[in-house]
A and B are shown apart, each in its own frame.
Chain A
């Protein structure tokens, strides 16, 4: 049923995730203007096009109107010009005729006899004809009254004729032509009064005394339209203001000329530019209702829409003339306006379309963007869900796995045949591996979910490294691989950081190295990151010096100056640079006795840790994905060596969480060197002493001041040995061979003012086996009985692995006092030394007795179990009782506080974390507070001897919880707990937790 429930629950979760996604996108989607009006876009485009069409039409119209106005102006100016010219020419001619009239009156009438006859007149007029280009000819007609007709006719010798060339009928007056230009000689003797127009003209002329014009009519000689100009000639001088009668009375005759208007205008226009373009008509508009045409065709088809009228004044006030101009052709369609408007329209259309396209594109891109965003949110949600799922599933797997492991442990306790036991053990190992894997996956999921927090507690880096090494010592010893650790002196003894995670990193790296290394060494080195600088300098220096000249060829093969003599991938760890580091440190150390090292004052310290191995290395192609989860060099790796490849990715994450970075150098078949940096806080001295005891195992101080000689040909290894000895306070010197060491001793022995008098000599196994032992042991034997006052140095053999035969041999040769097995750990070295030197240390002695059962640990101890759950309480009590402990129960944190009031008699407290009112963390904090108060009081007063004898109050508190994800170990430690037990109790787990505190 529980199984059935879970899918539905998960579905709900899924559903809630989806809802969240929707909400997020709903709030995130900020609509832009374009996005909001996306439906309107085509309409906008249409509107734009229409507006632009309208605009371009308007432009066209405006331009067209401009052109028309200009055309009109051109027409009017042309017309005016023509009219003026015509008028000018006309008046010039009229003036000349006027001059002729005066000529006649002067020479014909005032002179007696007349100075002009027909011949003279003809001659004169012919010669002055150029002055009157508009007049076809001039003639003079004398005024003859009827009474004088007979005499006149007789005098001239011809009769007066009418226009029709018939003898004139009787009239009151006659105006026969007496003088005429040759061109119009045909009108001589004709009576001008007989013609209708001429008669009218004559009458008007003599009445006004000015030039007068006739209506236009067809001229006699030519068939052109023309007008006749008539000028009166007076006999006597007129008074200044003559009346009409006086004028008529004084009239002597009439001078007349015919204007051939048609040819006149034709000539005139011919002289002007733009003649073809316009059409000119001249009208006589004396009679306003009926315009008489003087020039031009009545029905000409020009541009009727546009015409211009100019007034003409030919000097006759009675007659009015006008000139009308129009264009020949209709106004041409204005292509410029049309093309301009059209181009404008097209451009606007294109612009509109481009804008539309852009808007559409924006809409599309925004849509895509939102879609992507949604997908991103979904992907992130999926990722979170994945992590959650991983965490949940891993957690769910843990529980049955614990069951399996527990049952297997139980099974192994029963009576089994060897095959069965083997099977069960295999199953257990596999289960353990699975649990480790699940833990890793959990870690990974936690890191991904950002749930992993680094704690900052003071811890001893060196002891952690020792622990890790001891974890792998068995494996490496079996393989014959040397395992060593070196921590630079400059690294502070205690640093602030996350010991658990640091341990995890080191364990991962060393574990990897152990897995992949079959020969050679694995070397962990820790130093300050700032120290790398001189190392690099040193490297450069050695390069300049022409490399190493101390290469020691052993049995033909070149020995590298690394820990084990095998080549390492990263030569930074070889002696050439290492010795510089060491010597640099020493000089620094010496120099900084009196002054603080510059780095010491700063709050944090950056450590550089490198793990070097001489394993199979990482193939070049796989090197760039080493830190990717679930990636191994190739699939065969997992078959050969096992593992999932998740470890390094976790390591990387952890290193990055510690503020550092990890890198590696690897050469296939040579080895790999992983190097990482990490930031740690410096530990204040005050807090240092407090926490030191609870967190680290103390190294015995009883070896302080001892002197030792390390006999080792490999300088790196010697440095490591020295480092461990130094930690114990032992001064060590390095000698290249036993002879040197012995001679040094001997010398020292004889001369008492010695520099060094060794208490211990440590000899590397290789060296001992390399054949020097024969002579050496002799010398040693020689030397031993020779001993003076000083103590004989104790001999130690250092070995990674040693066969029984070799051991026997060594013992038989009485060469060594004991063998120290590698990897070296300060505590182990201390134990060995202690054993041999006999320097007592109670705490150390108990170390090896750890293997006692849980029962032995718990027997007789008084333990407080705090849990609100009665069932749990009962079960826990039962379990602890089974191991012989006296159990007392408390059902809440408060009760526990009461029970733990100092003084109390409890040896340990198991505390449930999840409790109502006061949870386990809070209760622990309060207990710790109480303890520190008591401690202060004690220090201050120091009254109660019994209490003081008991040492400081620190009751071990172990957390009990079923929940692994939330209540992590870190949290427990943070609030002052000492450990962590999963609930329900598991024997091994319980043992591990309890063993820390109850050492016999």
Chain B
């Protein structure tokens, strides 16, 4: 019974991961991240991802406030934020977000306000999507951990 559930959970998780990879939402960096997780740091991935979410939300907020300032949008600051966002996204392997950031940065370099707004919307959408998916993933993982008792190393 337990084993079955574990298998199912594992299949679910693999499917979800496959989906995320297939859609280009995540890339191999995420796998590398998962590899870094071992006995010494059992919650490494979720820890990093939570930091990522935290940081990203701050960045998104400030990006939006920067863009909402109609008269004067500080494109330089926006570029710095986007670089940060890009850096962290590529670190956790959030490939699609990174791509959107690239487009966003290009738009901001051209002082293209409309493009920036559009990109910001896409970015927020992508971010929410990723967040949901990763939460889902972590949930499955949690269940797996619960189901499998103490079996931290998930792969290898």
Which residues of A does B touch, CB under 8 Å? 1-3, 5-6, 8-9, 12-13, 16, 400, 403, 406-407, 410, 867-872, 874-876, 878-879, 881-882, 912, 914, 916, 962, 983-985
Whole-angstrom CA separation of A881 from B118 in the bound complex: 40
Interface segment, B1-9, B10-18, B36-44?
B36-44
Pick the contact of B36: A871, A879, A962 (CB < 8 A). Answer: A879
Contact of B100 with A5 in the complex, beta carbons under 8 Å = yes
Contact of B102 with A2 in the complex, beta carbons under 8 Å = yes
| B136 sits at the interface (CB 8 A) | no
Chain B residue at smallest Cβ distance from A912: B87
| B154 sits at the interface (CB 8 A) | no
With A1-B96, A16-B110, A878-B44 as contacts: A871 and B126 at CB distance below 8 Å? no
Chain B residues near A867 (CB, 8 Å)?
A: 87
Contact of B106 with A916 in the complex, beta carbons under 8 Å = no
Whole-angstrom CA separation of A12 from B92 in the bound complex: 31
Contact of B41 with A870 in the complex, beta carbons under 8 Å = no
Chain A residue at smallest Cβ distance from B89: A871
Chain A residues near B84 (CB, 8 Å)?
A: 868-869
| B68 sits at the interface (CB 8 A) | no
| B141 sits at the interface (CB 8 A) | no
Contact of B87 with A878 in the complex, beta carbons under 8 Å = no
| B33 sits at the interface (CB 8 A) | yes
With A3-B99, A9-B103, A881-B41 as contacts: A869 and B87 at CB distance below 8 Å? yes
Whole-angstrom CA separation of A874 from B40 in the bound complex: 14
Contact of A875 with B33 in the complex, beta carbons under 8 Å = yes
Chain A residues near B107 (CB, 8 Å)?
A: 9
Chain B residue at smallest Cβ distance from A6: B103
Whole-angstrom CA separation of A881 from B51 in the bound complex: 18
Contact of A962 with B87 in the complex, beta carbons under 8 Å = yes
Whole-angstrom CA separation of A519 from B32 in the bound complex: 45
Contact of A881 with B40 in the complex, beta carbons under 8 Å = yes
Pick the contact of A9: B40, B96, B106 (CB < 8 A). Answer: B106
- Most A CB atoms within 10 A — which of B84, B87, B92, B112? B87
What's the minimum C-beta distance from B49 to chain A, rounded to whole angstroms? 9
Whole-angstrom CA separation of A878 from B91 in the bound complex: 11
With A3-B99, A5-B103, A881-B40 as contacts: A875 and B55 at CB distance below 8 Å? no
Contact of B122 with A874 in the complex, beta carbons under 8 Å = no
What's the minimum C-beta distance from B91 to chain A, rounded to whole angstroms? 4
Chain A residue at smallest Cβ distance from B94: A871
Chain A residues near B80 (CB, 8 Å)?
A: 916
| B52 sits at the interface (CB 8 A) | yes
Contacting A at CB under 8 A, from B65-101, are 80, 83-84, 86-88, 90-93, 96, 99-100
Whole-angstrom CA separation of A227 from B88 in the bound complex: 144
Contacting A at CB under 8 A, from B104-118, are 106-107, 110, 112, 115, 118
Contact of A403 with B28 in the complex, beta carbons under 8 Å = yes
Whole-angstrom CA separation of A13 from B40 in the bound complex: 49
With A1-B126, A870-B55 as contacts: A410 and B31 at CB distance below 8 Å? yes
Whole-angstrom CA separation of A16 from B37 in the bound complex: 47
- Most B CB atoms within 10 A — which of A983, A984, A985? A984
Whole-angstrom CA separation of A914 from B81 in the bound complex: 11
Contact of B36 with A882 in the complex, beta carbons under 8 Å = yes
| B63 sits at the interface (CB 8 A) | no
Chain A residues near B40 (CB, 8 Å)?
A: 881
Whole-angstrom CA separation of A962 from B102 in the bound complex: 12
Whole-angstrom CA separation of A630 from B52 in the bound complex: 44
Chain A residues near B55 (CB, 8 Å)?
A: 869-871
With A2-B100, A878-B41 as contacts: A406 and B91 at CB distance below 8 Å? no
Chain A residue at smallest Cβ distance from B53: A871
Contact of B91 with A5 in the complex, beta carbons under 8 Å = no
Chain B residue at smallest Cβ distance from A400: B27
Contact of A984 with B29 in the complex, beta carbons under 8 Å = yes
Chain A residues near B83 (CB, 8 Å)?
A: 914
| B125 sits at the interface (CB 8 A) | yes
Contact of B51 with A984 in the complex, beta carbons under 8 Å = no
Whole-angstrom CA separation of A12 from B125 in the bound complex: 23
| B148 sits at the interface (CB 8 A) | no
| B128 sits at the interface (CB 8 A) | no
Query: What are 28 A-B pairs at a CB distance below 8 A?
Result: A2-B96, A2-B102, A2-B122, A2-B126, A5-B100, A5-B122, A9-B106, A9-B115, A403-B27, A403-B28, A403-B29, A406-B28, A410-B28, A869-B88, A870-B51, A870-B55, A871-B52, A871-B92, A874-B48, A876-B91, A878-B48, A882-B35, A882-B36, A914-B83, A916-B80, A984-B29, A984-B90, A984-B91
What's the minimum C-beta distance from A2 to chain B, rounded to whole angstroms? 3
Chain A residue at smallest Cβ distance from B90: A962
Contact of A962 with B86 in the complex, beta carbons under 8 Å = yes
Chain A residue at smallest Cβ distance from B100: A2
With A1-B125, A882-B36 as contacts: A983 and B91 at CB distance below 8 Å? yes
Top 5 nearest A-B pairs (CB, nearest first) are A2-B99, A871-B88, A878-B36, A5-B103, A875-B91
Whole-angstrom CA separation of A406 from B28 in the bound complex: 8
Whole-angstrom CA separation of A874 from B55 in the bound complex: 12
Contact of B52 with A12 in the complex, beta carbons under 8 Å = no
Q: Given A2-B99, A5-B118, A870-B51, 13 more contacts at CB 8 Å?
A: A2-B102, A5-B119, A12-B115, A403-B27, A410-B28, A871-B55, A871-B88, A874-B91, A878-B41, A881-B40, A882-B35, A962-B87, A962-B90
Whole-angstrom CA separation of A406 from B29 in the bound complex: 9
Chain B residue at smallest Cβ distance from A961: B87
Whole-angstrom CA separation of A962 from B110 in the bound complex: 22
With A872-B88, A882-B38, A916-B80 as contacts: A2 and B103 at CB distance below 8 Å? yes
| B57 sits at the interface (CB 8 A) | no
Chain A residues near B47 (CB, 8 Å)?
A: 874
Whole-angstrom CA separation of A6 from B104 in the bound complex: 10
With A406-B28, A406-B32, A407-B28 as contacts: A872 and B115 at CB distance below 8 Å? no
Contact of B48 with A871 in the complex, beta carbons under 8 Å = yes
What's the minimum C-beta distance from B153 to chain A, rounded to whole angstroms? 13
Chain A residue at smallest Cβ distance from B49: A871
What's the minimum C-beta distance from B118 to chain A, rounded to whole angstroms? 8
Whole-angstrom CA separation of A869 from B81 in the bound complex: 10
Whole-angstrom CA separation of A962 from B29 in the bound complex: 13
Whole-angstrom CA separation of A794 from B115 in the bound complex: 76
